[in-house]
Structure 1
């Protein structure tokens, strides 16, 4: 057998129903296989077309569909499809597409039918077992709420395969082939910059194709020349949803897992796909496949479905907020790609910013857009102004088309005030902190929730570092921020009854954002600035605040629980409105809440009210 066929044989030996076959029959299968490669988003099988092979997934992820376009199944490494068509006339019954870059082993129809005739186990597994696995798949979907609470360690399988940073690309490729892996960890070896055995980078099949083969480089170059250096990592005790959010945010296909600083495994998108059907990873993948703004609009129903699924499965507010924020970032990133394709490359570097709830990973289904542009200090309005004006308009108009309404306060990159060189932004923040007044900060607090989503994102990090370093030493600034935060109070009357909105269209309702989650975010932000926290998310900020000991004992935990009650009330309200086919909003009608919900909501608002009183005292506001 040739080396490639030996590799195929080793793969078959690890997966049912092949590993149960006699050795001689298994070798026949390995020698008969052809290999197909399909790019992410490409069509693999089309309904009713002639079918000539049984499809076995070597790496990647595949979706199969019913003829009406409804999703039928989602498969990853070791999964197979097309057996139904081969057994019923040799025509495709379930169309298939590649969810990510995918390698497929194609077993000829004659070989498949021979296996079906000669191996009772193979026949039962494929024909009967498949139906049973579909049933268990649906059961897993019902249990996915539990899986959302599982830790990353539950996804780990084999020991990670690694190689030293001194190795060549050829050696790395040989090891990946021998071990049948699509990703390889690169560990420091003989480097002065880091201890031996620590993580230096990661290399994948995709890196081999894009960074070695496509440019025509010599395979004897150091593996460090084509690896992704200092990759994002996650601790084994973190939750699966956090790994998912990290992979969404940075469009990662592989994520190294650490235990006490040591790499103990790698998880891939396909690992998470096994746990999460109709997932936000799929939505993000779909966003990046769209070629026009109109096509991006067509993804909006999938976003709504993803939101409803997470609510139905009792995901907490942090899970939902981070997933929706990742989807929102993906819309921005794809729109910027399309804008640059239409307008040409940017004349000077820039960073596109997300502000507010998206930057905090607290975005929901009903939200406006808050964004800005940091431009390179070489920016010349006469030479470059027109380009960035068009870029901002393209993105903001595209976001509006996809359901992210224009900001009524015009905090958008289309506003020249928020489309400035880095030095101007640095001066903005310096002035806000050193020459603070409540009036000056009234419409600027949103800029203290900032996240770079495209381009020179390190500029956003520089601004965050500037704020983290300086804000805690500016008592007038903190007092002014606190004074503004106290303008939005919880909707409780003297006798602890709800105080309803009386603004015309939304009479006798509670604006759960304006009177609940927003003042909570404002309050937490101020304490976070005071303790020098560099976190963006409110709950992560609250952890830093609790650790700093600036609140009375137990008060931070009360704030955390109260925030969750109010946030989930808002989330469930938006989900219910969405189910009814109406436009989501933030206006909750108390009479539509149960007595239990009303009681806990009042208690949560009371915690907020008490916290605002302490805020006023603490910062002398």
Structure 2
């Protein structure tokens, strides 16, 4: 093969969709390629002219337009254009001009037609546009995980074992032993139709009955757990896993049309899922001191890597890691209360940021606060809560959750206040959105009560949801704040690299990707009055309104998922290589598939930010580019 043809072949082989072609086909294809040169500003394709070639950009940059003259896309090295005309009537549908001096490889229509008809990967690529391609990429990533596709009914091995809620302890124990189950569903049979009343487990019999030496004739209702958390039979196993993680429960009734179908236990999921994330959580709550928790914390990264290798999606991984983080907090709070004694007044420990959003990864610090009962008296009570906050914060740091550099922790007196003070904080931040208030909004408007009297946090969520959507000034300034972090795309859809010392020539996928996405999603969620905290849950709430143009919610969801999963895999690869995980990736370390779809995702973020400015009349913000 001539040197010129070898150069063409090698270049094509580096880019989609040619990188998936068999060697023999690629060797034949390059012999048919013609090379064309266009000076900057010259027309390459005119609307309506005959489509004769698929155009591949060897070097330079091209602008593609809609027939109205509106800019449709900017393309650069390795991109293709002209395929839609070849597929739809042999007429150019999107005119194109050279933005700078450009070299084009022209692939004849006959060669394009043969590849389109015979090579599935080639056809899939040319038939779909960027955002549809990104959606396909996202869907492809999640399909191989059994946890994502298997229903909870797969874990049900027997019919529901139940008993009347009036049964006595001895009889309940006999029924559980006879059927070989670790949990018994208790039914209220006083009405025309039995309804679920509560549940009792082996652990309940040990800790609530035997330990207290209760008589065998004691009604089981005295020790059963009421307020059952259940899951629908159509739900997936990963949803059951997240529900158990979030609520720290070991048994979950499965229902169909309100009727119990069975109970799945922690052990069922642990056996099914190799990640054993629930096992890590269970192990956390068995620890008797901080040293034990430190030992367990070493399993967290292994669990993270296993989930990535099992192809779990970003929502599942983020929720699982947040569940583990919450469990460390909850156990430390319980140990702190054992050490310091019972709290003098009720309180709620509040998670903030990524833990509250269920989007936590392994590179994270601690953001938390305390909401105290309004009966709190600083002189009488604050020494206790200060000591408890320090015990928890130090324990978290020992378990790998570093101290917050901005001091957003319950150890800071400002963030350890009565409910009434917290209400005044949020009211002031919304009514008087100054610079500090807007910064606080990005942190404290993702909040979740994880221990104690969590009704306090629910009250704060309600206050925020009601007030924020009524304040257009607050939303406009919050939107402007959300525009401070821009996606790392240059004029030609090339990546803009960080220039920050040791992180030179990298892309920070958090600062320039997932963080600005969560910022703009938060603004829209507040505007529609949603109390959801997770970005994907917020998008579902936004979708129920007419707030965004058609298709925008799906595009934002796909962009968030793809950027997040690339970030997650980068961290997992670092852990497996014995390196410290971070958020900075080098484009040359990414596959062609990842680079192309990251560009698509960043373009969606860019478009989302433009709409954010338009929708809320946000004044121009300082760019980080």
TM-score range, shorter chain: 0.7 to 0.9
Tell which deviates more after alignment, 157-166 or 168-177: 168-177
Q: 1:336 aligns with which of 318, 321, 333?
A: 333
List aligned pairs for 1:170-189, cutoff 5 A.
170-189=170-189
Q: Secondary structure at the match of 1:508?
A: coil
Matched residue, 1:161: 161
Distance (whole Å) between structure 1 residues aligned to residue 438 and residue 197 of structure 2: 43
| Alpha-carbon distance in 2 for matches of 1:445, 1:609 | 19
Distance 2:166 2:341 in 1: 39
Closer, same or farther: CA 484–269 of 1 in aligned 2, 3 Å? same
CA contact (8 A) 2:184 2:200 kept: yes
Is 1:257–2:254 an aligned residue pair?
A: yes
Residue 361 in 1 paired to residue 352 in 2? no
Q: Relative contact order (C-alpha < 8 Å, sep 6+): which is higher?
A: 2
Q: Name which of structure 1's ranges 318-327 and 145-154 shifts more when overlaid on structure 2.
A: 145-154
Match of 1:300 in 2: 297
User: Equivalent residue of 2:499, what SS?
Assistant: coil
Contact 1:347–1:384 under 8 Å retained in 2: yes
Q: Distance in 2 between matches of 1:212 and 1:291?
A: 22
| Match status 1:371 vs 2:336 | no
Q: TM-score, normalised by structure 1?
A: 0.73
Matched, 1:290 2:287: yes
State the alpha-carbon separation in 1 of the partners of residues 166 and 294 from structure 2. Answer: 48
* SS of structure 2 residue aligned to 1:543: helix
Cα displacement string for residues 111-150 of structure 1 (whole angstroms, at most 9, x for unaligned residues): xxxxxxxxxxxxxxxxxxxxxxxxxxxxxxxx99324531
Match of 1:572 in 2: 569
Match of 1:483 in 2: 480
Q: Which runs of 5+ in 2 are unaligned?
A: 1-142, 619-625
Residues 170 and 300 of structure 1, relative CA distance in 2, 3 Å threshold: closer
Partner of 2:145: 145
Alpha-carbon distance, 1:578 to partner:
1.4
* Inter-partner Cα distance in structure 2 for 1:494 and 1:277: 44
Deviation string for 1:380-408 (max 9, x for gaps)? 11111112111111111111121111111
1:419 corresponds to? 416
Tell me how far 1:470 sits from its aligned partner: 2.9
Matched, 1:234 2:231: yes
Cα distance in 2 for residues equivalent to 1:476 and 1:259:
46
Q: Work out which of the residue numbers 278, 282, 302 in structure 2 matches 1:281.
A: 278
Q: Which residue of 1 aligns with 2:583?
A: 586
1:11-22 map, 5 Å: none
Equivalent position of 1:597 in the other structure: 594
Q: CA, structure 1 residues 220+434, in 2 after alignment: closer, same or farther (shift >3 Å)?
A: farther
Aligned position for 1:348: 345
Structure of greater Rg? 2
Query: Residues of 1 paired with 2:169 and 2:460: CA distance?
Result: 38
The answer (yes or no) to whether the contact 1:287–1:296 under 8 Å persists in 2 is yes
In structure 1, list runs of 5 or more residues that go unmatched.
1-142
Q: Distance in 2 between matches of 1:167 and 1:341?
A: 34
TM-score in terms of structure 2 length: 0.73
Deviation, 1:371, is 0.5
Of 355-364 and 209-218, deviating more is 209-218
Are 1:494 and 2:491 counterparts?
A: yes
Distance in 2 separating the partners of 1:168 and 1:478: 57
Residue 466 of structure 2, aligned match among 442, 451, 469: 469
Q: In 2, Cα distance between the equivalents of 1:196 and 1:514?
A: 55
C-alpha displacement at 1:434, in angstroms?
A: 2.8
- Judge conservation of contact 1:165–1:187 (CA < 8 Å) in 2: yes
2:554 corresponds to 1:557: yes
Distance 2:165 2:282 in 1: 31
Q: Does 1:454 align with 2:451?
A: yes
602, 605, 610: which is aligned to 1:608? 605
Tell me how large the CA RMSD over aligned residues is: 2.0
Structure-1 residue corresponding to 2:395: 398
Q: How far did residue 604 of structure 1 move?
A: 0.2
Q: Deviations over 1:548-590 (max 9, x none)?
A: 2321111111111111110011101111221222221111111
1:153 and 1:236 in contact (8 A); partners too: yes
